[in-house]
A and B are shown apart, each in its own frame.
Chain A
Amino acid sequence: MTRDKDDEVPNLAESKLTALVVDDNFINQSIHHKLLDRLGITNDVVCNGKEAVDVHCSGRNYDLILMDMDMPIMNGIQATRRLREMGIESKIAGVTTRANEVERQEFMEAGLNDFQEKPLTISKLLSILTNLNFYVQTS
């Protein structure tokens, strides 16, 4: 979990973290999947909140969930609530373009551990990982 001197992007593969990307936009899916890959975090991708719930019902579990807000069938707020009701204790980071304070508050209250504005970048993802104690930056 330390910074690699040769490359600005740290490699967290040793920590064997797993993540789930929940987003209905396939461009964001590609980017978020690649961002996590780049940091050495194994990850799966689903298209909406219902698929996120279903994948947990089938017994899968993840250290981190990147949850989009606006999705069809079941949105991020509903999915986060449902996962918490199911007893899922994974860290959930809300990722959305909606920065409106009221909507952000509602999303946080659904059970998020952290929140970042889209589009995600390496440094925003590292910020999430730091906030959730998955990564410690060393100088």
Chain B
Amino acid sequence: MIESFFDGNQVEILETHVDPITLLSGPPCCGKTSLLFQFAYNCASQSNANVVFMCNRSRLQSKRPYLSQSIDPSSHVFKLIQMKYVEDDEEIKKYFAAFHQHDKIPTAVVVDDFGDLFDDRTCQERYTNPRGRDLAMVRTLALCYNAITHANKKSPCKLLLSDTHLGNSTRLLYIYKRWISSIFTVKGDGPGSFLLRNKNYSRSCGLGKTRIAKYSIALKDLVFEGITDDNEQ
């Protein structure tokens, strides 16, 4: 699945078993939005079906994602990607609460900066609880999980979330792990270069190898630089 974050012309995207919900977690400014966009493009072009991309509008406009060079920005595939601008967690909840009402279920839903949609103060007030933000995330993730699992009974549907973490890993991993079995993390590897690695928490953990993809956004393009097996487990 790690290949689906990159250009299909540069790396072969295999149709292996894909977990329905995936998290991409990384430090700020490491190209997460770009990887998400590539993923959305790949999903749309492979299945020729709708993909919904949810993000904060002003953030997207101030930091546009980088596409890989061989992708034509005027490609018809982008018409299949439906942008949905959201401001907070209530909007995400409303969307997934009504997910079963879609006539045509999208083949993938991508949510950029999932964690940022949860405002500390608002959540604490809403639940009158100092851990309000964690509580809100638990509820929203449970709702997403239920929406996607139900949708998959009728047609394949994937959910990809991204979150920003400071330091070595996300503090909220203990919450995410409960509903998300496939987690990718990004680590810096020199200026503009990064390593993307998958950690699998699902039942099949230990059967598959952990792989690391190297990529760069140094020259304002998403450049795939190779995949290796992870030797340090």
- Do A and B pair up? The answer is no
